[in-house]
Amino acid sequence: MTLRAKPRIKVCGLTRVEDVQAAVAAGVDAIGLVFYAASPRHVTIAQAKVLCQAIPPFVTIVGLFVNASRAEVHRVIEAVPLNLLQFHGDETIDQCEGFGLPYLRAARVRPGVDLLEFASQFPSARALLLDTWTPAFGGSGESFDWSLVPSSCPLPVILSGGLHPDNVAAAIRQVQPVAVDVSSGVESAKGIKDADKIRAFVEAVRGT
């Protein structure tokens, strides 16, 4: 029998040092910082630099961007020790490449969206991150119909969108992603994480 690795865990949208510390203590694999001014979880470069000081080696630091200019992305990269970029808007492959860092490409999922065709447009992406479609970009707190995820995909799949401690195990069993990404599902308020919910989420993933 082939053993399947447990999905990696990313907690996104952190805004406070104590929340970063709680996520690290719980054993998450990655921390997501949102550089999108319209998001309630947005952080400035100055805030991000402080948060990164609380992130130890071997925890991946992911920077999330939505339709940012190349100059804006470069400004963040030059100041913040990001390991991975996440593009969550309408970016083309040319707008994702050329920064000297690997990237994730997010797809907003709803019926009628061809995820295989979308993934084929980004062969250089490290993975395809699947989130719930909203008129805005992310942060809805709602899950999507997991049956819309194709059984095979040209890119590794990261599952996001409305995950929380009570549904993440079922999501993993159905989708079998390489990683899961949570934000609102471990919050007490927008941008404010709950340490107990983070621990419960990690325990639910590790128990699958």
- Residue 204: closest CA among 35, 25, 26, 3: 26
What does the block give as tokens for 158?
């990261």
Residue 119 one-letter amino acid = A
The torsion angle over the Cα atoms of residues 195, 19, 134 and 99, rounded to 10 degrees, is -140
Catalytic residue among 19, 29, 131, 181: 131
The CA angle 132-134-136, to the nearest 5 degrees, is 125
Let me know if 96 is a catalytic residue.
Answer: no
Let me know if 131 is a catalytic residue.
Answer: yes
Catalytic residue among 12, 19, 29, 52: 12
| Residue the block writes with tokens 């100055």 | 46
Euclidean distance between the first and the last CA atom of the chain, given in angstroms as a whole number: 16
Q: State the catalytic residues.
A: 12, 131
